Amino acid sequence: MNQVRTFRLAIAVVVGVVSATSTAGAQSATKKPAAAAADGQKVFTTTCVVCHQLDGAGKEGLYPPLAGSEWVQGDENKLIRIIVGGLSGPVEVAGETFNSAMPGWGPVLEDKDIAAVATYIRSSWGNKAGPITESKVKSIRAAMSSRKTPWTITELSAVKDT
């Protein structure tokens, strides 16, 4: 009787382990698309978070918010230019005016990192704008290759491309 019980227990344990393993396998297979989004989050938490904050709200009077920002969710060409080349001077974000400077991240981030972080900030904290591709970043970077100083909003508005 005891032997039978032990045997049943052993079977139950084996079945448990096997089903746990196969569930884990299935989960990691379905997690693939999320891994791409995680890269953008990683770039954000290593490069942007110190100023724009984990919740994307920025800091009153110092660092503008990315959450709810029209620059983040608007024209992707301008957003890429801001991230690659930086921004200085007055900028209105979500109804508040900031007048500071951000260096360009072009020299420290690769095209794929800029695409990933731009995609991340466009789809986080309630922001709802489409993804940005690596090839788009590549072409904007090439178009602004002679630029050495951060953009101003006036200059950005004058750039005509689609």
From the list 37, 41, 42, 47, which residue makes contact with ligand HEC (rule: CB under 6 A)?
Answer: 47
Interatomic CA distance for residues 111 and 140, integer angstroms? 10
Interatomic CA distance for residues 148 and 104, integer angstroms? 9
Kindly tell me which of 92 and 161 has the beta carbon lying closer to ligand HEC: 92
The closest alpha carbon to 65, from 52, 54, 78, belongs to 52
The label of the residue with tokens 């503008």 reads 64
Kindly tell me which of 30 and 99 has the beta carbon lying closer to ligand HEC: 99
From the list 37, 41, 51, 136, which residue makes contact with ligand HEC (rule: CB under 6 A)?
Answer: 51
Q: What is the dihedral of CA 68, 71, 76, 81, to 10 degrees?
A: -140
Q: Determine, following the binding rule CB under 6 A, whether residue 121 of this chain makes contact with ligand HEC.
A: yes
Q: Determine, following the binding rule CB under 6 A, whether residue 67 of this chain makes contact with ligand HEC.
A: no
User: Which residues fall within 8 angstroms of residue 79, CB to CB, at 6 or more apart?
Assistant: 71, 72, 118, 122, 132
Q: Which two tokens stand for residue 149?
A: 């100083």
Interatomic CA distance for residues 32 and 94, integer angstroms? 34
Q: Determine, following the binding rule CB under 6 A, whether residue 48 of this chain makes contact with ligand HEC.
A: yes
Q: Determine, following the binding rule CB under 6 A, whether residue 66 of this chain makes contact with ligand HEC.
A: yes
Task: Provide, rounded to whole angstroms, the least separation between the CB of residue 89 and ligand HEC.
Answer: 5
Q: Mask: binding to ligand HEC, 85-104, rule CB under 6 A, as x and -?
A: --xxx-x-x----xxxxx--
The site for ligand HEC (CB under 6 A) is made up of 47-48, 50-52, 63-66, 69, 71-72, 79, 82-83, 87-89, 91, 93, 98-102, 105, 117, 121
